[in-house]
Amino acid sequence: MRKLFALFCAVSIAVFCIAGSAPAKDKTVTFVDFSWSSVQMHNRIAGFVLEHGYGYKPNYIFAESVPGLTGLARGDIDVAMEMWVDNVLDWYNKAVGKDKKVIDLGPVFPDSPQGWYVPTFVIEGDEERGIEPMAPDLRSVYDLPKYWELFKDPEKPNKGRFYNAIPGWVVHDINLKKLEAYGLTETFEPFGPGSQTSLATAIVTAYNKGQPVLAYYWEPEWIMGMLNMTRLEEPPYDPKKWNDEAGYACEFPAARVHIGINADFLKNNTEILSFLANYETTLEQNNAALAYMQQNNANVETTAVWFLKEYKDLWTKWIPDDEVKEKVLKALEKIKI
């Protein structure tokens, strides 16, 4: 995919250069800060490189998903480091596909998984903590009835507790359908936490006590960087099963999270195309960075610097120009965290 995209980039650069485009005079780049930490971190990582390596002045504008992406297509925003494609598919098909106002530069990290998780020690034990395996045969959601008592609901002790997503989230209702489709309503009771913080707290508290917990969650997130969690198997994703009538009886479709850049901005700033097109991280790196942020109560700027220091061998491959790399490395050396 990257090789095919590199070919596209080469063609794009040629077209832009033939058109006589040149870098913008003010050399500013505006990122959209959505309301979650990972995108704000990636904005600062890219912003640091563009500022110290390419001489741009980065700006960060806060916006929720729809207005932020609308601004990207309109040109009020230059770069979105996380376009959750499948969550905004109508917008994406129009802005990227039909109108070509936004160029898709590929994934910022691999397709983002979500599902039902348990602490790995529930299955494998944890010798260092003196925890014996509690459910050694637990692999799939279909194995849960055998082990429901491990997850006993304190309010309804005749059933296990499943920590659902937050009420009001679309996935909350999807999970209710899944419970029915997998035949788990007789052995498990869904519990809807009041907030993401409440959901995270329930998982971390149980984990730290060495107690089993079954919960919906997703990646990348700081919990996955701090805790050793296992996602339970579900039937492979099948579009025919992924609907209300079929009860969503398969695994979640992986969420595509891509980098987007305004097409007009790119025409005038082709020098940064290779860097942004090469920009790609792993889920593990994102989980680790978000865990660093959480454990150290760090802001996104500090976390971005930590990432650049921690994964130097990664990001230096994104930059084709050795002189640019050296400028960024020298700027990093001056910052202590």
Question: Among candidates 277, 274, 267, which has minimal Cα distance to 22?
Answer: 267
Q: What does the pLDDT read at residue 111?
A: 86
Q: Has residue 19 got a pLDDT over 50?
A: no
Q: Please compute the mean of the pLDDT values over residues 57-79 and round it to a whole number.
A: 95
What class is the 115-246 domain? alpha beta
Q: Has residue 24 got a pLDDT over 80?
A: no
Q: What does the pLDDT read at residue 259?
A: 98
> Is the Cα dihedral 196, 199, 202, 203 positive or negative?
negative
Query: Do residues 293 and 303 touch, judged by C-beta distance below 8 A?
Result: yes
> Is the Cα dihedral 24, 27, 31, 37 positive or negative?
positive
Q: What does the pLDDT read at residue 86?
A: 86
Q: Are the folds of 28-112+255-334 and 115-246 the same?
A: yes
Q: What does the pLDDT read at residue 25?
A: 53
pLDDT in tens, 248-277: 999 999 889 999 999 999 999 999 999 999
Q: Please compute the mean of the pLDDT values over residues 192-202 and round it to a whole number.
A: 93
φ and ψ of 327, to 5 deg: -65, -45
- E-strand ranges in 213-309 read 215-218, 229-231, 257-262
pLDDT in tens, 99-110: 999 999 999 999
Distance (Å, rounded) from C-alpha 332 to C-alpha 98? 41
Strand partners, 102: 262
pLDDT grade for 10, boundaries at 50, 70 and 90: very low
Q: Has residue 224 got a pLDDT over 60?
A: yes
Q: What does the pLDDT read at residue 38?
A: 94
Distance (Å, rounded) from C-alpha 19 to C-alpha 266? 12
**Domain-wise residue ranges, the chain:** 28-112+255-334, 115-246
Strand partners, 161: 189
Q: What does the pLDDT read at residue 35?
A: 84
Q: Please compute the mean of the pLDDT values over residues 39-58 and round it to a whole number.
A: 97
Q: Has residue 168 got a pLDDT over 90?
A: no
Q: What does the pLDDT read at residue 169?
A: 83
The encoded tokens of residue 9 equal 């980039």
Q: Please compute the mean of the pLDDT values over residues 30-55 and round it to a whole number.
A: 96
Exposed e or buried b per residue across 236-265, where buried means at least 16 C-beta atoms within 10 angstroms of its C-beta: eeeeebbeeeebbbbbbeeebbbbbbbbeb
Among 85-94, 147-156, 314-323, whose mean pLDDT is lowest?
85-94
Superfamily of domain 28-112+255-334: Periplasmic binding protein-like II (3.40.190.10)
Q: Please compute the mean of the pLDDT values over residues 141-145 and round it to a whole number.
A: 98
One-letter identity of residue 94:
K
φ and ψ of 330, to 5 deg: -65, -40
- CA dihedral of residues 284, 53, 35, 233 (deg, nearest 10): -20
Per cent of the chain over pLDDT 90 is: 86
- The chain-wide mean pLDDT, for the chain, equals 92
pLDDT in tens, 104-134: 999 999 988 999 999 999 999 999 999 999 9
Q: Please compute the mean of the pLDDT values over residues 53-82 and round it to a whole number.
A: 96
Per cent of the chain over pLDDT 70 is: 92
Q: Has residue 183 got a pLDDT over 60?
A: yes
183: left (phi over 0), alpha (psi -120 to 50) or beta: left
